[in-house]
Structure 1
Amino acid sequence: MTKYEAPRRALTRRAAITLGAGLPMLSRGAAAQALPNRPMRIIVPYTPGGTTDIATRLVAEPLSRAIGQPVVVENRPGANSIVGAAAAATAAPDGTTLVMVLPAHAANATLQAGKMPFNALDSFSPVSLVVQSPLIMAGSKHINAEDLQGYIAYIRANPGKVNYGSSGIGATAHLAMEQLRLKLGLTMEHVPYRGTQPALQDLMVGNIGWMFDTYSSFQAQFEGGTIRPLAIASPTRAAFIPNLPTVMEAGVPDFAASTWCMLLAPAGTPDAITARLAQEVRTIVQEPAMARRLQDIGFVVEGRPPAETGAFLRAEIDRWGEVIRTANIRVE
């Protein structure tokens, strides 16, 4: 076991149901005061099996029991989350439809400005920032450096010779690296891939020099020693990989970046409904057994209320919008 190894957890739907079985029952009577007496759906605007899908299913089962209604997870992938978000934006604002979005939703506000069938802010009522997953920097072992400071020095000494990869244009991993490039004045090229796995393969063989992504994406390769853990882009070290220093510890001031999972409802959903749902989600994710499960796969538990969630989304739209405009990032 390496110093970066953390316990593995099989994340199947059956495991999610088992997790839910250990959670305390919440007040169905209190939930019923705000929520309609009908099944709920949570739209995941990505394919099954990914980070967003896993987080949603872990929450959906205990939420179903808490509100006394079925909660169905519906995968609606397409156009970097726009298809699923659009389906939620046009749904009835009655508490029966939610959508779980990632930072792509915030980036699309700038990348797809004027092209989307909804407004990333105004078309939704915030419910809860459920979890965050700090981005981790991983480096190719084909570069002669041992830590993030060494990689930065190597890139400075070899301008334009090191490429970085990401899971695609506008992904958080792409925007975070562009923010780092701008902050440090580095000269390097972006190589976008169709997802994390092909980028990871090229990182292992040395076709790209480094990349950001989540702990769950890198865990197996860290344990196998095929790529080098460099730093985590969080304000403090993370419990799930405590020996990994932060980007700020490596000498990059005020730098943090994460992907996240956020529940939104259609605009006009009554405040009583969004507040009740946020309360139930907070109870679910902060329950000790659930919090440990989420931590084991690289999540930081949140469960923020609607007002804080809305403020967070606005800040993310502003933040990534500035990076997109400054770096002149475009979607072809």
Structure 2
Amino acid sequence: MRILVPLVLALAAGAAAPALAQGYPTQPVTLVVPFAAGSGTDAVARTVAQKLSERLKQPVLVDNKPGASAQLGAQYVAKAKPDGYTLFMTTNTSHSANPSLFKDLRYDPIKDFTPIVRVGELPFALAVHPSVPARTMQELIAHARANPGKLSYATPNSTSLVAMESIKRIAGVDIQAVPYKSSPQAMTDLIAGTVQVYVTDFGSGMAMLRTDRIRTLGVTTAHESQMLPGVPPIGRTVKDFDLTSWNGILGPAGLPRPVVDRIHAEMQAVLADKEVQDKLAGIGFQVWPSRTPEEFTKYVADQLVHWTRLIQQAGIKPE
């Protein structure tokens, strides 16, 4: 009789997953964002949450849990019940870069999560305070070489950090890093001149990138952006430089496959909506959904390898 118990339990668990998905969702869904309100990821999350809520016929609530370079939000989701009611909209910061940036990471980006859908990419741009006598990347590099250690840059996320440290290594310049908890605060201090250089995401920085309150010198992608015409890729000056930030939705490990498929399918419809695409394009976000959860799972694993190599090449030591 005891031999049958595990079999009965397994059959019960197997039957529970489809039953869960069939009625899912029956209550509000929380979409955790590991960055502050006003960040690029937050803007993307709020745009898709509105439409996803309409399709799921339940509220999709954005919950900002910033701090420790996305670690707080990641830890929260990793420990959440895998029932589809706690989801994670995150980026390469938590899942590609942090394993190489922190010695004591309290979550595993692969084992502790269920990848559901890639949403797209968010370009970044390098900007300086007007007090910096540079109007091109070449002039910035020349100025930094002539004034080693006198310039500082803001780093509220891994993309900003890895981008600047890569530029420093390739160009051979000394610019001091100043950690920030959020992108909006980093931009505020760039405008004030507290820091002189900042690699900002288009989502949180676009409004300022188009003004004369700061000076935009280059974009991190390999090609020019239609959002910032005339601003050249940094790679034209800094050889082999090409960096962007991915964005996607994951759940805790053990998320039932029927729930994964439901969310993935609804997000495909959300990202195909022209209104959503137009809103995201307005912040420079490029919609690029994964075709299947498996494709996104492989992408997350590949990006972990890619960013590990970038960070090692930049000479960044884990904290």
- SS of alignment partner, residue 221 of structure 1: helix
Partner of 1:252: 238
- SS of alignment partner, residue 240 of structure 2: coil
1:273 to 241, 255, 259: 259
Partner of 1:320: 307
Structure 1 contact 143–209 (Cα < 8 Å) conserved: yes
User: Compared with structure 1, are the counterparts of its residues 185 and 289 closer, same or farther at alpha carbon in structure 2 (3 Å cutoff)?
Assistant: same
Partner of 1:64: 53
User: Compared with structure 1, are the counterparts of its residues 58 and 271 closer, same or farther at alpha carbon in structure 2 (3 Å cutoff)?
Assistant: same
Amino acid in the other structure paired with 1:318: V
Partner of 1:85: 74
User: Compared with structure 1, are the counterparts of its residues 80 and 207 closer, same or farther at alpha carbon in structure 2 (3 Å cutoff)?
Assistant: closer
2:250 to 245, 264, 283: 264
Amino acid in the other structure paired with 1:152: I
Partner of 1:167: 155
Q: Distance in 2 between matches of 1:151 and 1:132?
A: 27
Residue identity (%): 27
Structure 2 contact 144–173 (Cα < 8 Å) conserved: yes
- 5+ long unaligned stretches in structure 1: 1-31
Q: Deviations over 1:283-315 (max 9, x none)?
A: 212322211111112211122232332233223
User: Compared with structure 1, are the counterparts of its residues 313 and 146 closer, same or farther at alpha carbon in structure 2 (3 Å cutoff)?
Assistant: same
Q: Distance in 1 between matches of 2:304 and 2:150?
A: 29
Structure 2 contact 120–289 (Cα < 8 Å) conserved: yes
Q: Distance in 2 between matches of 1:197 and 1:284?
A: 27
Q: Distance in 1 between matches of 2:175 and 2:34?
A: 31
Partner of 2:295: 308
1:229 to 216, 220, 225: 216
Return the offset for 1:213. Answer: 0.6
Return the offset for 1:220. Answer: 3.7
User: Compared with structure 1, are the counterparts of its residues 149 and 131 closer, same or farther at alpha carbon in structure 2 (3 Å cutoff)?
Assistant: same
Amino acid in the other structure paired with 1:164: S
Q: Deviations over 1:260-301 (max 9, x none)?
A: 432111112233432332232132123222111111122111
Return the offset for 1:197. Answer: 4.4
Amino acid in the other structure paired with 1:62: K
Partner of 1:186: 173
Task: State the Cα RMSD in Å.
Answer: 2.7
Partner of 1:286: 272
Partner of 1:142: 131
- 5+ long unaligned stretches in structure 2: 1-19
- List aligned pairs for 1:3-82, cutoff 5 A: 36-39=24-27, 40-82=29-71
Structure 2 contact 41–203 (Cα < 8 Å) conserved: no
Question: Which structure's CA Rg is the greater one?
Answer: 2
2:86 to 91, 97, 105: 97
Q: Distance in 2 between matches of 1:84 and 1:251?
A: 36
Q: Distance in 1 between matches of 2:22 and 2:167?
A: 44
Q: Distance in 2 between matches of 1:144 and 1:82?
A: 37
Q: Distance in 2 between matches of 1:208 and 1:225?
A: 16
Return the offset for 1:176. Answer: 1.1
Structure 1 contact 34–276 (Cα < 8 Å) conserved: no
Amino acid in the other structure paired with 2:101: L
Partner of 1:13: none
Q: Deviations over 1:231-281 (max 9, x none)?
A: 111122222223322222x33343222234321111122334323322321
Return the offset for 1:119. Answer: 0.7
Return the offset for 1:153. Answer: 3.0
Partner of 2:206: 219
Q: Distance in 1 between matches of 2:66 and 2:128?
A: 30
Structure 1 contact 163–191 (Cα < 8 Å) conserved: no
Q: Distance in 2 between matches of 1:87 and 1:324?
A: 25
